[in-house]
Amino acid sequence: MKRFKTLSIVFFLSFFNFYAQIPAKKYIDFIPISPIQVNSDFISTSSTDEILSISTTKMSIDKKSVLNFLPNESMETTIQQFNDDGEIRYLYSGRSVKKGTYRLTVDYNKYIIQNIKPKTDEECLGYVKIGIGLRIIANITTLKNNIDINSLVAIGNAAKKDNISGTVGYEIIGIESKEITAILPINSEITSSINQVFLQAIGVVKGKIYDEKTRLHPQIIAIKHTGCEINTIVRNIMNQYEKKETNRLKFLVKN
Protein backbone atom coordinates (compact mmCIF):
# COMPACT_ATOMS: atom_id res chain seq x y z
CA MET A 1 0.00 0.00 0.00
CA LYS A 2 2.84 2.36 0.91
CA ARG A 3 4.54 1.67 -2.41
CA PHE A 4 1.29 2.43 -4.25
CA LYS A 5 1.05 5.80 -2.51
CA THR A 6 4.67 6.59 -3.40
CA LEU A 7 4.07 5.76 -7.05
CA SER A 8 0.92 7.89 -7.05
CA ILE A 9 2.81 10.88 -5.67
CA VAL A 10 5.60 10.46 -8.24
CA PHE A 11 3.03 10.25 -11.03
CA PHE A 12 1.26 13.37 -9.76
CA LEU A 13 4.48 15.36 -9.53
CA SER A 14 5.51 14.26 -13.01
CA PHE A 15 2.13 15.28 -14.39
CA PHE A 16 2.42 18.66 -12.63
CA ASN A 17 5.87 19.27 -14.11
CA PHE A 18 4.64 18.40 -17.61
CA TYR A 19 1.73 20.83 -17.54
CA ALA A 20 2.76 23.41 -14.89
CA GLN A 21 1.70 26.92 -15.92
CA ILE A 22 1.35 30.11 -13.91
CA PRO A 23 -0.22 33.56 -14.42
CA ALA A 24 1.93 36.60 -15.17
CA LYS A 25 1.60 37.90 -11.58
CA LYS A 26 3.37 34.80 -10.24
CA TYR A 27 5.95 34.55 -13.02
CA ILE A 28 9.17 35.99 -11.59
CA ASP A 29 11.48 35.78 -14.60
CA PHE A 30 11.88 38.48 -17.24
CA ILE A 31 8.98 38.87 -19.67
CA PRO A 32 9.95 40.00 -23.20
CA ILE A 33 8.07 43.05 -24.49
CA SER A 34 8.01 45.05 -27.70
CA PRO A 35 11.05 47.38 -27.67
CA ILE A 36 10.51 50.78 -26.01
CA GLN A 37 12.73 53.79 -26.69
CA VAL A 38 14.34 55.21 -23.54
CA ASN A 39 14.52 58.97 -23.12
CA SER A 40 16.49 59.27 -19.88
CA ASP A 41 20.22 59.79 -19.51
CA PHE A 42 22.46 56.95 -18.31
CA ILE A 43 25.97 56.68 -16.96
CA SER A 44 28.47 55.14 -19.38
CA THR A 45 32.10 55.40 -20.47
CA SER A 46 33.02 56.90 -23.83
CA SER A 47 35.63 55.73 -26.34
CA THR A 48 38.03 58.22 -24.72
CA ASP A 49 37.38 56.69 -21.26
CA GLU A 50 35.31 59.63 -20.06
CA ILE A 51 32.47 58.93 -17.64
CA LEU A 52 29.35 60.45 -19.19
CA SER A 53 25.71 61.04 -18.41
CA ILE A 54 24.34 60.35 -21.86
CA SER A 55 21.10 59.46 -23.66
CA THR A 56 20.78 56.32 -25.73
CA THR A 57 20.44 58.51 -28.84
CA LYS A 58 23.82 60.13 -28.21
CA MET A 59 25.27 56.75 -27.32
CA SER A 60 24.50 55.54 -30.84
CA ILE A 61 27.08 58.01 -32.18
CA ASP A 62 29.82 56.55 -29.95
CA LYS A 63 29.64 52.76 -30.18
CA LYS A 64 32.14 52.22 -27.36
CA SER A 65 29.80 54.00 -24.94
CA VAL A 66 26.97 51.60 -25.92
CA LEU A 67 29.13 48.50 -25.50
CA ASN A 68 30.41 49.78 -22.14
CA PHE A 69 26.80 50.41 -21.08
CA LEU A 70 25.74 46.85 -21.99
CA PRO A 71 28.20 44.51 -20.22
CA ASN A 72 25.97 41.40 -20.13
CA GLU A 73 25.17 38.87 -22.84
CA SER A 74 22.66 36.02 -22.76
CA MET A 75 20.22 33.80 -24.61
CA GLU A 76 16.82 33.54 -22.91
CA THR A 77 13.71 31.50 -23.74
CA THR A 78 10.17 32.38 -22.66
CA ILE A 79 7.10 30.19 -23.23
CA GLN A 80 3.57 31.59 -23.05
CA GLN A 81 0.26 29.75 -23.27
CA PHE A 82 -2.82 31.50 -24.67
CA ASN A 83 -6.03 30.17 -23.13
CA ASP A 84 -9.51 30.34 -24.66
CA ASP A 85 -10.57 32.95 -22.08
CA GLY A 86 -7.82 35.32 -23.28
CA GLU A 87 -5.56 34.77 -20.28
CA ILE A 88 -1.83 34.41 -20.88
CA ARG A 89 0.06 31.97 -18.67
CA TYR A 90 3.76 31.20 -18.45
CA LEU A 91 5.60 27.88 -18.39
CA TYR A 92 8.89 27.37 -16.56
CA SER A 93 9.35 24.12 -18.41
CA GLY A 94 8.22 23.72 -21.99
CA ARG A 95 8.40 19.95 -21.99
CA SER A 96 5.34 17.91 -22.80
CA VAL A 97 2.74 20.65 -23.12
CA LYS A 98 -0.92 20.01 -23.72
CA LYS A 99 -2.76 20.53 -26.97
CA GLY A 100 -3.23 24.30 -27.35
CA THR A 101 -1.77 27.62 -28.49
CA TYR A 102 1.68 28.78 -27.37
CA ARG A 103 4.36 31.36 -28.10
CA LEU A 104 8.05 30.65 -27.69
CA THR A 105 10.32 33.70 -27.64
CA VAL A 106 14.09 33.35 -27.81
CA ASP A 107 16.18 36.46 -27.17
CA TYR A 108 19.88 36.88 -27.85
CA ASN A 109 20.84 40.14 -26.12
CA LYS A 110 23.60 42.38 -24.90
CA TYR A 111 22.00 44.21 -22.00
CA ILE A 112 22.00 45.84 -18.58
CA ILE A 113 19.39 45.43 -15.82
CA GLN A 114 18.09 48.44 -13.90
CA ASN A 115 15.67 48.86 -10.99
CA ILE A 116 12.22 50.36 -11.44
CA LYS A 117 11.33 52.28 -8.31
CA PRO A 118 7.78 51.83 -6.93
CA LYS A 119 5.69 54.99 -6.58
CA THR A 120 4.19 53.88 -3.26
CA ASP A 121 5.15 51.53 -0.42
CA GLU A 122 2.33 49.19 -1.47
CA GLU A 123 3.81 48.59 -4.92
CA CYS A 124 6.52 46.04 -5.62
CA LEU A 125 9.98 46.60 -7.01
CA GLY A 126 10.42 46.07 -10.73
CA TYR A 127 13.32 45.59 -13.12
CA VAL A 128 13.91 46.37 -16.79
CA LYS A 129 16.32 44.85 -19.21
CA ILE A 130 17.76 47.51 -21.54
CA GLY A 131 19.67 46.25 -24.53
CA ILE A 132 20.06 45.26 -28.16
CA GLY A 133 19.92 41.94 -29.96
CA LEU A 134 17.97 39.45 -32.03
CA ARG A 135 14.58 37.97 -31.16
CA ILE A 136 12.78 35.01 -32.69
CA ILE A 137 9.07 34.53 -32.01
CA ALA A 138 7.42 31.20 -32.79
CA ASN A 139 3.62 31.11 -32.61
CA ILE A 140 2.75 27.45 -32.11
CA THR A 141 -0.37 25.31 -32.21
CA THR A 142 0.24 21.88 -30.70
CA LEU A 143 -1.95 19.25 -32.37
CA LYS A 144 -1.77 16.66 -29.57
CA ASN A 145 -0.75 16.31 -25.92
CA ASN A 146 2.76 15.61 -24.60
CA ILE A 147 4.63 17.69 -27.18
CA ASP A 148 8.06 19.14 -26.33
CA ILE A 149 8.38 22.83 -27.30
CA ASN A 150 11.17 23.62 -24.85
CA SER A 151 13.62 24.81 -27.52
CA LEU A 152 13.97 25.62 -31.19
CA VAL A 153 15.46 22.16 -31.76
CA ALA A 154 12.43 20.56 -30.08
CA ILE A 155 10.05 22.71 -32.13
CA GLY A 156 11.85 21.72 -35.33
CA ASN A 157 11.55 18.04 -34.45
CA ALA A 158 7.85 18.45 -33.61
CA ALA A 159 7.26 20.22 -36.92
CA LYS A 160 9.04 17.43 -38.78
CA LYS A 161 6.63 14.91 -37.21
CA ASP A 162 3.58 17.13 -37.95
CA ASN A 163 2.84 17.43 -34.23
CA ILE A 164 2.64 21.24 -34.40
CA SER A 165 1.83 24.00 -36.84
CA GLY A 166 2.59 27.69 -36.70
CA THR A 167 4.66 30.62 -37.88
CA VAL A 168 8.01 32.13 -36.95
CA GLY A 169 9.18 35.74 -37.13
CA TYR A 170 12.38 37.62 -36.35
CA GLU A 171 13.09 41.04 -34.83
CA ILE A 172 16.33 43.03 -34.84
CA ILE A 173 16.33 45.11 -31.66
CA GLY A 174 18.37 48.32 -31.52
CA ILE A 175 20.84 47.35 -34.26
CA GLU A 176 20.98 49.51 -37.38
CA SER A 177 22.71 47.58 -40.14
CA LYS A 178 21.83 47.09 -43.81
CA GLU A 179 23.71 43.77 -43.86
CA ILE A 180 21.64 42.33 -40.98
CA THR A 181 18.41 43.51 -42.56
CA ALA A 182 19.41 41.82 -45.81
CA ILE A 183 20.02 38.39 -44.24
CA LEU A 184 17.12 38.41 -41.78
CA PRO A 185 14.66 35.63 -42.65
CA ILE A 186 11.13 36.69 -43.51
CA ASN A 187 8.18 35.45 -41.47
CA SER A 188 7.42 31.90 -42.48
CA GLU A 189 5.96 28.58 -41.36
CA ILE A 190 7.80 26.61 -38.71
CA THR A 191 10.05 23.95 -40.26
CA SER A 192 12.64 21.47 -39.02
CA SER A 193 15.44 23.94 -39.90
CA ILE A 194 14.23 26.68 -37.51
CA ASN A 195 17.18 26.30 -35.10
CA GLN A 196 19.77 26.29 -37.87
CA VAL A 197 18.37 29.48 -39.42
CA PHE A 198 18.34 31.22 -36.02
CA LEU A 199 21.94 30.25 -35.22
CA GLN A 200 23.08 31.56 -38.61
CA ALA A 201 21.28 34.86 -37.94
CA ILE A 202 22.87 35.15 -34.48
CA GLY A 203 26.31 34.63 -36.00
CA VAL A 204 25.79 37.56 -38.36
CA VAL A 205 24.34 39.77 -35.60
CA LYS A 206 27.24 39.08 -33.23
CA GLY A 207 29.73 40.04 -35.91
CA LYS A 208 27.91 43.21 -36.95
CA ILE A 209 27.49 44.51 -33.39
CA TYR A 210 31.22 45.37 -33.39
CA ASP A 211 31.32 46.58 -36.99
CA GLU A 212 32.25 50.27 -37.27
CA LYS A 213 29.34 50.97 -39.62
CA THR A 214 26.70 49.46 -37.32
CA ARG A 215 24.84 51.86 -35.03
CA LEU A 216 23.42 50.60 -31.76
CA HIS A 217 20.32 51.96 -29.98
CA PRO A 218 19.64 50.37 -26.54
CA GLN A 219 15.94 49.95 -25.75
CA ILE A 220 13.78 48.43 -23.03
CA ILE A 221 13.28 44.82 -24.14
CA ALA A 222 12.00 42.94 -21.07
CA ILE A 223 10.44 43.58 -17.66
CA LYS A 224 10.34 41.75 -14.35
CA HIS A 225 8.25 42.19 -11.21
CA THR A 226 8.48 40.91 -7.64
CA GLY A 227 4.83 40.07 -7.03
CA CYS A 228 2.57 42.83 -8.35
CA GLU A 229 0.53 43.41 -11.50
CA ILE A 230 2.45 43.84 -14.75
CA ASN A 231 0.51 47.03 -15.51
CA THR A 232 1.85 48.56 -12.30
CA ILE A 233 5.43 47.95 -13.42
CA VAL A 234 4.66 49.38 -16.87
CA ARG A 235 3.24 52.57 -15.34
CA ASN A 236 6.30 52.96 -13.14
CA ILE A 237 8.57 52.42 -16.13
CA MET A 238 6.83 55.22 -18.00
CA ASN A 239 7.11 57.46 -14.95
CA GLN A 240 10.82 56.74 -14.49
CA TYR A 241 12.02 56.87 -18.09
CA GLU A 242 9.51 59.00 -19.97
CA LYS A 243 9.48 62.08 -17.73
CA LYS A 244 12.05 63.95 -19.76
CA GLU A 245 10.21 63.26 -23.02
CA THR A 246 6.87 64.31 -21.47
CA ASN A 247 8.32 67.66 -20.42
CA ARG A 248 9.82 68.17 -23.85
CA LEU A 249 6.48 67.48 -25.51
CA LYS A 250 4.77 70.00 -23.23
CA PHE A 251 7.36 72.58 -24.25
CA LEU A 252 6.73 71.91 -27.92
CA VAL A 253 2.97 72.25 -27.45
CA LYS A 254 3.34 75.61 -25.69
CA ASN A 255 5.49 76.94 -28.48
Q: What is the pLDDT of residue 153?
A: 92
Q: Report pLDDT for 233.
A: 79
Instruction: Check residue 86 and give its pLDDT.
Output: 80
pLDDT of residue 59: 87
Give residue 254's pLDDT. Answer: 32
- Position 253 scores a pLDDT of 29
SS3 letters for the chain?
Answer: CHHHHHHHHHHHHHHHHHHCCEEHHHCCCCEEEEEEECCCEEEEECCCCCEEEEEHHHHCCCHHHHHHHCCEEEEEEEEEEECCCCCEEEECCCCCECCEEEEEEEEEEEEEEEEECCCCCCCCCEEEEEEEEEEEEEEEEECCCCECCCCHHHHHHHHHCCCEEEEEEEEEECEECHHHHHHCCCCEECCCCHHHHHHHHHHHHHHHHCCCCCEECCEEEEEEECCCCHHHHHHHHHHHHCHHHHHHHHHHHHC
Per-residue pLDDT of the chain (255 residues; tens, 9 = 90+): 444 444 333 333 333 344 457 887 788 899 999 999 888 888 888 778 888 888 888 888 888 999 999 999 999 999 999 988 888 899 876 557 889 999 999 999 999 999 988 877 777 788 999 999 999 999 999 999 999 999 999 999 999 999 999 999 999 999 998 888 887 777 789 999 998 888 888 888 988 999 988 999 999 999 998 877 778 878 888 888 765 443 333 322 232
Cβ neighbours of 58 (radius 10 Å): 15
Q: State the pLDDT at residue 230.
A: 78
Task: Check residue 14 and give its pLDDT.
Answer: 39
Q: What is the pTM of this model?
A: 0.81
Residue-level pLDDT at 101: 94
- pLDDT given at position 234: 80
Please answer whether residues 40 and 241 qualify as being in contact, where contact means their C-beta atoms are separated by less than 8 angstroms: yes
pLDDT of the residue at 166: 95
Enumerate residues 6+ apart whose C-beta is below 8 A from 217. 37, 56, 57, 59, 60, 132, 174, 175, 176
Residue 94: the pLDDT is 54
